[in-house]
Structure 1
Amino acid sequence: MFKKLFKKKETNTDLVTPLTGKVVPLAQVPDEVFSQKMMGDGIAIEPTDKQVVSPIDGEVVDVFKTKHAISFRTDGGAEILIHMGLETVQLDGKGFEIHVTNGQKVKKGDALATFDLDVIKAEGYQTITPIILLNGEEFSLSNAAGEQAVTAGADTLFRIEKK
């Protein structure tokens, strides 16, 4: 019982890929906010499937009202953003279905959302999805996946380490 009480929180963690698709370096994302790392460091995935799963064990911090983005906090304190598509805030939720709520605890691989790639493309938006470390002043990324095909919940996207 006391071991659990005084157990140190793990601050380093591996993120699993939240989407099935192809890994794209952040520098190649056609949106300066992401490619210039204005929001933080990370990586992107060009999805081939509509399912989005949790990349971490932790908590949902914010499901954006427009359903295009979800932020999380790992059990160790790292903050992560999944931004489904580019400029998709303009869709005001069209094509997105969210399966979690603010404050909900999640485990790696839990269903978070589905987004209809065809609807988003038909509306003229790109589906490339940045995954961003928001609190880079406290954490850093390492072991980032290269440009390769990945499967949601199965492959490691990158490692987050406490600075």
Structure 2
Amino acid sequence: MLETTQKVPASRTLTLPAPLSGRVCEATESSLGELLPLFNIGCVMRVTGNQLYSPFQGMVTDFDSRELSIKLKATSGLQLWVKVAEVGKSGVGSVCLPHVKRGQQVSKGQSLFQFNSTTLKQVGAVPYARIVIPNGQNISRYETTKARQCLALEDTLFTLYI
């Protein structure tokens, strides 16, 4: 009697560098963590830098400089949504200095926007960031860095197993 064996597709590993400098923390440390359960893959970071970079080559699909929120789509199809701080107060226009706009192609390492941490703190917004992958349904599992501190573009934030 012959046995048939199924071939299991080899999983592919993809690493995603941190788009900004900071420390991964518990979702409960910031109100930005409230939406994390809606997504398969995501984390909250306590931000130590003041600049957000593109972790891959792709396109800006949505950008709201007033809300410090940006969505990117990699050439591979992977999507990334980053929101820095809960900025709901008026008069915070000087917080963000945009370097890109919606529909623009971006390269890996390109600066997307710069934000003023001092101004954020003055309006009561502690600099946390929510980083999620909205289309992670094809990712079988992921790991978030356990490093105490991540440097933008130098350290891996997510390891994705596809």
TM-score range, shorter chain: 0.7 to 0.9
2:62 is equivalent to residue 42 of structure 1 = no
Cα 1:106–1:43 change in 2 (3 A) is: same
Report the equivalent of 1:90. Answer: 89
CA drift of 1:33 comes to 5.6
Cα 1:30–1:67 change in 2 (3 A) is: closer
- Equivalent position amino acid for 1:13 in 2: L
What are structure 1's unaligned runs of at least 5 residues?
A: 1-10
Q: Secondary structure at the match of 1:61?
A: strand
Cα 1:119–1:108 change in 2 (3 A) is: same
- Equivalent position amino acid for 1:90 in 2: K
Q: What's the Cα RMSD here? A: 2.4
2:38 is equivalent to residue 22 of structure 1 = no
Q: Percent of aligned positions with the same letter in both sequences?
A: 25
Return the TM-score normalized by structure 1.
0.79
CA drift of 1:77 comes to 1.2
Q: In 1, distance between residues paired with 2:120 and 2:21?
A: 17
Report the equivalent of 2:152. Answer: 152
Cα 1:56–1:93 change in 2 (3 A) is: farther
- Equivalent position amino acid for 1:28 in 2: T
Greater C-alpha Rg: 2
Equivalences, count: 150
Question: Alpha-carbon deviations, 1:21-79, whole Å to 9, x = none?
Answer: 21224x33422663652255311221112111112221111111525100011112121
CA drift of 1:149 comes to 0.6
Cα 1:140–1:55 change in 2 (3 A) is: farther
